[in-house]
Chain A
Amino acid sequence: MNRRAVAAIVRKDLMVVVRSKAVLLPLIIVPLLFLVLLPAMAALAPKLATLPGSSLAGMSTFIEQMPAGLRQTIEGLDESQTLVLLMIVYFMAPMYLILPLMVASVIAADSFAGEKERKTLEALLYTPTTDRELFLGKWLSAWLPALGVSLGGFFVYTLVANLSAWPVMGRVFFPNAMWLVLVLWVAPAVAALGLGVTALVSARVRGFQEAYQLGGVVVLPLVALVIGQVTGVMYFSIGLVWVLGIAVWSIDALLLWLSLKIFRRAGLIDRLG
């Protein structure tokens, strides 16, 4: 394995990514939105909810219908505390997964389809790298930043959540064990999912925008998770998160197998035309 060459591919892709507004902008705005704005709003929600004219009535029906496991976790909390806990710990959990997904997809779209569009791929194909090294380099250049952003984002989220909810909670309540599993086990898998789908899509499309938009379809299952939880169909228990991770990693393995089959020099250049 030619590590120096793989590292050079990663370095090149990242340098190229940070110099494109179209790529960099979503990488900055989305994390800000999810990690700072949303938790801050969630922590303020009880205040808004107790304003005259609104009520926590909807909440109480939700609480009555909620799964038993989840009800245990809110035992002994008042209504405001319950609301904050549900939002910051549970409702936000599936949304957090959008982060690694999006970062990986954007970078993969730029590094696979964008490179083809800019016609720089051909030069890369003439380097003394093997197909595997080329693929590994491309894969890492999307996966590593996705991990970085989701880890960094998690720390920021922890800070913002605890600080802004301090008046309501009066203690450090975040993260719990479920979140650790989510961040360390599920997020890397979801990053690989976004990247794998985008890489496959990139082989068929002409450019960055198209790849990014088509690859973005993977966000739909996450939206389903968000809805499933808000409507009380299921909740992010630690067991569910473990299983979710296993499921996503399995899909990843399938995608990887497919990609390795089609990621051949000859196949790539055939489509350069």
Chain B
Amino acid sequence: MNLIEMDRVTKRFDDLIALRDVSLTVAEGEVFGVLGHNGAGKTTSVRLLNGVLKPDGGRCRVLGLDPNLQGARLRRQTGVLTETPAVDERLTARENLAIYADLYGVPVRECSRRVDALLLDFALLERADDKVSGYSKGMKQRLALARALLHQPKALFLDEPTAGLDPVAAHAVHQLIEQLSGEGRVVFLCTHNLAEAQRLCDRVAVLERGRIIALGSPDELARQVGGALRLDIEVRPEQVPAALDLLGRAGLEHVEYDAETLAVSGVARDRVPEIVQLLVDGGVSLYRVAPREPSLEEVYFALHAREEA
């Protein structure tokens, strides 16, 4: 079942078209990534899907509700981590959570237990009664994340959840996302971090200036950009120039190299045996030949380059 749907959604701000004919669906238990440059329209999508902005065209549907008409009801079941943590600096972590527990209608009897549990989970318990203004960026981010989970939302919207976090904290967030999707929640993840998206997302949409230019699982996207591989070839160091020469003559131009490894990108799968043959015939000793599927990052840049062209 689709928990999130956007059907040819368009959003304008005066002359600027922030989203143009965007259509996508996200199913139960799925982690869906939205990738895109600054200003691509990621945050705008989150706002539209939560009834905080109105679309100028098209239709959104989240958890079977229309965000535009049934916003308050919908927001009972959605949790949003905003781009800036938006926590009250003059209040303590505990006060921040207690007030939002009221706003989200967490059952009164459960409030303090749930607040304590979240403070513990997000390693904020020790500083729970200090004013947030003294917190580090990462602590504020964790508090904002805890707040988004207070009411145990069915759909979670995370707008760059690991921006500014140290690697350990970012890892903890990744584990949390995996755990949440394991519990059957749907996660809508906006990110610039392509490794993060590759690791976590079942499917991704690549937004470029308000339009979706690619949509699918990271593997499908790789195939869309041509399924070209990257070939790492390890040779004896003194043979690097000879190998470069051979590859150049075979028309393979995208070659990077260091002391003993050549990395050939944009290689079609069926050319791999031919390249190996070529090098062996040319007297180059091969120690290692490793074809690699392109990473989401490479796919992203390929898509971007194609869009520019």
Contacts and interface: CB of A to CB of B under 8 A. Distances in A.
A269 interface: yes
Interface in B44-99: 47, 50-54, 71-76, 78, 80, 82, 84, 86-91, 95, 99
B57 to A, nearest CB: 15
B53 A8 contact: no
Q: For chain A, which range describes its interface: under 10, 10 to 19, 20 to 34, or 35 or more residues?
A: 20 to 34
B309 interface: no
B99 A123 contact: no
Contacts of A4: 102, 105
B90 A129 contact: no
Q: For chain B, which range describes its interface: under 10, 10 to 19, 20 to 34, or 35 or more residues?
A: 20 to 34
Contact of A128 (B47, B72, B91, B147): B72
Interface string A253-269: 00000000000011001
Contact of A126 (B13, B73, B80, B95): B80
B122 interface: no
Contact of B102 (A7, A19, A122, A123): A7
A204 interface: no
A126 B50 contact: yes
Given A119-B84, A123-B82, A129-B72, A269 B95 contact: no
B103 interface: yes
Interface of B: 13, 47, 50-54, 71-76, 78, 80, 82, 84, 86-91, 95, 99-100, 102-105, 131, 144, 147
Nearest to A17: B90
Contacts of B75: 126-129
B90 A20 contact: yes
A85 B52 CA distance: 56
Nearest to B106: A4
Contact of A15 (B73, B84, B95, B100): B95
A127 B87 CA distance: 13
A9 interface: yes
Nearest to B80: A126
Given A2-B105, A126-B80, A128-B103, 16 more contacts: A4-B105, A9-B103, A11-B102, A19-B131, A119-B84, A120-B87, A123-B87, A127-B100, A128-B74, A128-B105, A129-B75, A265-B51, A265-B71, A266-B52, A266-B53, A269-B47
